[in-house]
């Protein structure tokens, strides 16, 4: 990538300098986007739990109705926030155009997995296992690599396998000591795992030409489709779901919290994809996974989550493992010098 085509020495120097400056700025913006995506996803995870603490969500019968009402409303709010954002950028028309392409349709299948199924399972997991569900869900990069291996014939390197083993080890550590007073703890962890599996699969569906789709548009579609599917199709199938949805919409507190949670989720997704497309999926995903730290930290600070040695060590091991799955940590330093 040298500027062989520039003949005059002086212009070569300044073109190189300018190019380096552009590259550096690009890298820095990408990394800060990735960090923001992790932070805002941690905020989203915490706020959804806050919203679920209000009536009628907190007293809803069964384990499914409240999480799906909450995740459906959250995603719908996120989708609406993103509609404003994309309208401001002047690309609302892109939504329809994207849905009519093959890569767009493949993305939609992925959205249904990553949206209603994974988000719903994640929130059931949060409700049953508390903050323990957050780092467990971060094993999604493990499943992403695993499915890429199975379906896309992308053989993992030794480094990726090492990271996978670390993720599993971290999950085992977290489950070593069950917290007291959480009768459905293991079920909650299983739900978080289902979320991780579905998120891993979602990634596979984005590999059918998804690279040609504007991510800000894709994220907007994802949140709208996921929210509408959860509220119009899943919730009515759950006993008492419709009644709970109606009651929740009329209650100001949970709706307000879900609207803010939706805004955090919207910012998180936009910055995450932006980071992926600026510094590569590997670094982007690794930075995003720091949400497990933030989520656990905020839960301890604001939700009275008890801090145990197993959750601290387990989360650290999972986050490190997820980073090793997605990238060679040494690259961070190497690229910093460039």
Partner 1 sequence: MLLPSRTAVLNYMFDKDEVDVKSVMAALKDDYGNEKQFNEKMYLDHLMALEANGMVEMSSYELDDNDELIMRYKITDDGKSTVEKYIDKRYRVA
| Shorter beta-carbon distance to partner 1: residue 10 or 180 | 10
Binding mask 99-128 for partner 1 (x = CB under 8 A): -xxxxx------------------------
**Least distance (Å) from partner 1 to the CB of residue 266?**
18
154 makes contact with partner 1 (CB under 8 A):
no
Q: Does 211 bind partner 1 (CB under 8 A)?
A: yes
Candidate list 25, 55, 62, 89; residue touching partner 1; CB under 8 A: 89
C-alpha to C-alpha distance for 184 and 198, rounded to whole angstroms? 21
Query: Are the CB atoms for 148 and 266 separated by under 8 Å?
Result: no
The count of chain residues that interact with partner 1, using the rule CB under 8 A, is 37
CB–CB of 324/159 below 8 Å? Answer: yes
As measured in angstroms, the least distance from the Cβ of 141 to partner 1 is: 18
Q: Is 84 in the site for partner 1 (CB under 8 A)?
A: no
20 binds partner 1 (CB under 8 A): no
Residue 24 contacts partner 1 per CB under 8 A: no
CA distance 206 to 214: 12
CB 222 within 8 A of CB 111: yes
Nearest C-alpha neighbor of 320 from the set 200, 159, 196, 175: 159
Among 253, 277, 308, 328, binds partner 1 (CB under 8 A): 277
Two structure tokens written together for 332: 């961070």
Report the nearest approach of partner 1 to the CB of residue 107 (Å): 11
Verify binding: residue 280, partner 1, rule CB under 8 A.
Answer: yes
- CA dist 211 and 269 (Å) reads 16
**Does residue 267 have a cis bond before it (omega within 30 degrees)?**
no
H helices of 90-152, where? 93-99, 102-112, 120-129, 133-137, 140-152
152 binds partner 1 (CB under 8 A): no
> What is the binding site for partner 1 (CB under 8 A)?
1, 3-6, 11, 14-15, 18-19, 22, 26, 89-91, 93-94, 97-98, 100-104, 208-209, 211-215, 217, 276-280
């Amino acid at each position: 990538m040298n500027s062989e085509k520039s003949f005059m020495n002086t212009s070569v120097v300044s073109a190189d300098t300018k190019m380096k400056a552009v590259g550096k700025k690009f890298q820095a913006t990408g990394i800060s986007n990735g960090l923001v995506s992790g932070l805002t996803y941690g905020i989203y995870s915490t706020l959804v739990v806050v919203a679920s603490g209000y009536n009628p969500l907190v007293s809803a019968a069964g384990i499914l109705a409240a999480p799906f009402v909450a995740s459906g409303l959250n995603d719908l709010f996120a989708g609406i926030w993103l509609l404003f954002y994309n309208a401001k950028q002047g690309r609302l028309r892109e939504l329809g155009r994207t849905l009519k392409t093959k890569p767009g349709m493949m993305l939609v299948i992925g959205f249904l997995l990553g949206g209603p199924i994974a988000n719903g399972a994640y929130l059931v997991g949060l409700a049953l296992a508390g903050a323990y569900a957050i780092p467990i869900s971060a094993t999604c990069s493990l499943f992403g690599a695993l499915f890429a291996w199975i379906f896309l014939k992308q053989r993992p390197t030794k480094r990726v396998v090492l990271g996978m083993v670390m993720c599993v080890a971290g999950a085992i550590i977290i489950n070593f000591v069950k917290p007291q007073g959480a009768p459905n703890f293991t079920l909650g962890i299983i739900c978080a795992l289902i979320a991780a599996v579905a998120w891993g699969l979602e990634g596979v569906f984005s590999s059918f030409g998804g690279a040609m789709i504007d991510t800000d548009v894709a994220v907007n579609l994802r949140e709208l489709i996921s929210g509408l599917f959860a509220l119009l199709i899943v919730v009515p199938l759950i006993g008492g779901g419709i009644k709970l949805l109606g009651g929740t919409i009329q209650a100001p507190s949970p709706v307000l919290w879900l609207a803010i949670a939706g805004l955090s989720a919207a910012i998180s997704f936009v910055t995450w994809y932006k980071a992926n497309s600026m510094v590569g999926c590997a670094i982007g995903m690794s930075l995003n996974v720091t949400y497990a730290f933030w989520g656990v930290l905020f839960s301890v600070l604001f939700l009275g989550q008890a801090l145990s040695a197993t959750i601290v060590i387990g989360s650290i091991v999972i986050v490190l493992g997820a980073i090793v799955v997605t990238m060679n940590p040494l690259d961070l330093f190497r690229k910093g010098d460039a």
